Structure 1
Amino acid sequence: MRLIRNKLIKYIYRQIKGLPKAYIPRPDFPTKNLSLNKTLLITCSSWFNQEQQTAGTLMREGFARGWAEVCGPAKLIPTINICQEIDNYEKPAIFMSEFEFNDLSFTEIKKLRDIDLFVWVGTHPRKLAKLEKETLIDKSEIEISLNSYAKIMFAEPKFVWNAYGEAAREWYQGWIDDGLKWETIYPAVDTSRYYPEIKLKKYGHISMAYVGGYWEEKAQAFEKYLRPWENVLYTFGYTDWPYENYSGRLTPSEERQLYSSVGMVPLVTTPAGNMLAEITERYLKAPACKAFCIADENPALREIFNKDEMIQAENAEHFQELVKDYLNGKIDIDAWKENGYKAVQERHLYKHRALQIKNMLDV
């Protein structure tokens, strides 16, 4: 009864405050193979809107589709409903992020202890002060991480994870020191969204294209890597770019067609992303569309692509040299397209990540 009361209070509070609620019109991802029966429940915070094609939305859907392909059915669940939902399944796996722990009480979290819970975390709280000092990270993210730490430890998850490479061990070692298992799980490609679809009449005239938001921290990298090529670079994204050829937003199909058709896609992350050796979805979805890519010096890149599968710059100056070579026709771009695409298909689809997760839960 106390749990029901807490849920009712939380619901009323949301109504009074006008807080958003997770909007999930298509929650179910059934499996075609009925012999696969391990259910995955993916929690979604109040900000979640399945109709908005954000990275957080697409990533959760990607994990759900990959899981349904090789492990069992998957379902997107509002975080505030998770304690009721788990009673409908026999020991389901539960995907949560640290952000969603703030939606649950300690009483509710205790119910998750005997379930196959794994948690998407960030930098360990003992390193957050240093991270804030050395980067332009959003302070609200730091506050959420600090507030969720005690609840994550109380939940006793089977493992915690992020897309940080080995070079970032300093930033996640604290989770291991606290007695939790750590697993690096990189993003992957949702094959229902990203695949080759060439539209040369629409995008074939573009020599370089970058898709993504523009803000202060990312701008630090853009100034070094992309600004020198502003006259030939076309940028797209949900925020305005102070660049000559900013061309607005793209639909998911247009993004796929762009990657498949332009001359080159630069893979550039933020200073914090390089420091944390963080792989974002961009490093994989562009080559999944057979884009020719030149990557920045992200230290985790060689953990997902070998030197024959992706060109990587040693620094910003080397990146400029590689771009010049590309523009002057000195690089066999077709070979690089094929090698990158093959690597994605063999190792970096969401079904590969689903099997990685299941193996960790079965340990």
Structure 2
Amino acid sequence: MKILVTGGAGFIGSAVTRHIIKNTSDSVINLDKLTYAGNLQSLEHIEKSDRYTFEQVDICDRAELDRVFKQHTPDAVMHLAAESHVDRSITGPAEFIQTNIVGTYTLLEAAREYWNTLDDSAKLAFRFHHISTDEVYGDLPHPDEQDDNAFDKELPLFTEQTSYAPSSPYSASKASSDHLVRAWLRTYGFPTIVTNCSNNYGPYHFPEKLIPLVILNALEGKDLPVYGKGDQIRDWLYVEDHARALYKVVTEGKVGETYNIGGHNEKQNIEVVQTICSILDELVPKKPKYAEQIMFVNDRPGHDRRYAIDSSKMSKELNWTPIETFETGLRKTVQWYLDNQQWCQNVQSGSYQRERLGQINTKTQGE
């Protein structure tokens, strides 16, 4: 197969691209605009492969998309290109509307026009795989919210049938793109598949997200900011496990289906930060210990309290389960950042120095 991967220089996209080139005989056309979060250094180990091609293209540029489809004639699209940081979406939602909604629409139309030129067998085999997030579902009941009578009951998980209730500009824009993809299937018969994943972590993660931010701040002796009480719960998925799952879906998944992909690792944010500190205490010991740098800060506006995914459909229908536990995956992640300080320095632009984003200015004009 020839697979067009949008956002292939980003965190998850580069993991998917590396997985395909290293573990299959398929080819990848990596289409990426190369925004602040996209970096070709994440692909330096596979960039010389004759099965890898890079195209620097914005998914909102219809003419360039048409050229790419005509020139490379892909058998499938894996659409990962997106603005993805909740805090950035709070500060500047316009980019999220443009990329995640308008960009997905533009890509769908370019792909559909290309698909209509294929012969019947190629048309039948073609897939448009849209990669999304569990945040479109909103949040779930938190253990703290359960009464004594419900203490022994299992808390609910997100399933493929969970209703959408996005909380942030980011998740609302992703929910919109999910709806567009399903509408193109229903209206035009365009062969789409949707996946919704839990929080990813692992190597090559841009350091605005919690885990790389904490690792790098800890090593530099900076504060380790934790929102609110740190009791927000996330299900953590190692990015290479996610890449395997996504390849399973695009090659074996059924058209029209949605698959939830989770790591089976529900952890409170404070627990994640404390675990990173403990690993660093072991690998790069210092006094005082890293946990002394933890600082609680005002919570994010509209912060969802709990996410958790039921990925049993992936297990039953596609025979996928995560390999890494949270403990093994996090240790690998910390070690990777220790071993790749140059990559970390290179990807941080001069305009972003790991400062907090997403705070709302509530002062009225003239104050």
- TM-score, structure 2 length as denominator? 0.34
- TM-score, structure 1 length as denominator? 0.34
